[in-house]
Amino acid sequence: MIEFITLRERPELMDRSAEWFNSKWRAPKEAYLECMNAYLQKETEYGWYLCLDGEQIVGGLGVIENDFHDRKDLTPNVCAVYTEEKYRCQGIAGRLLNMAVDDLRSKGISPVYLVTDHTGFYERYGWDFLCMVQGDGEPELSRMYIHR
């Protein structure tokens, strides 16, 4: 059964979630744990959103202050958006994106930003291209999107 949750709904998944995100992206597990712990301790409302198939994590994303780019004024940032290949093209990432935006908006946090090299995907879910940004240690510029 496919289920969409926040990490606050299932805090016991923190360690497994950090390992899962670490296996998909190059950020260290400790960095994920630090952000997730701040969210679970209610030090921030920048959350973590998961899609589960039974007990298996099949999709997820987080919200952090800055996703490793030079525009520190554009915050918060959706980060680490990922859906397992077998589960793609089923609307999972879109539902997670909408869930995060709606959750943040309900807490008075808007707009929200994200950095990506994808074109055409995020626009389907109400995101607009904003500008190009320089990623930390990246030779090429990346696309910055905004959701108002």
Write out pLDDT tens, residues 33-84. Answer: 999 999 999 999 999 999 999 999 999 999 999 999 999 999 999 999 999 9
Structural domain for 20, as ranges: 2-109
In this prediction, residue 124 has a pLDDT band, given cuts at 50, 70 and 90, of very high
Describe the chain by its helix, strand, coil percentages, rounded to 5: 35, 30, 35
Element (H, E) at 113: strand 112-116
Q: In Å, how far are 17, 103, 121 from 23, measured between CA atoms?
A: 10, 26, 23
Instruction: Please check whether residue 143 lies inside any domain of the structure.
Output: no
Confidence of residue 26 (pLDDT cuts 50, 70, 90): confident
Dist. CA 33–CA 19, nearest whole Å: 9
Q: How many domains does the chain have?
A: 1
Asked, for residue 18, whether it belongs to a domain, the answer is yes
Does residue 54 form part of some domain? yes
Question: In this structure, what CATH number is given to the domain that contains residue 78?
Answer: 3.40.630.30
* pLDDT over 90 at 12, yes or no: yes
The answer to whether residue 124 sits within a structural domain is no
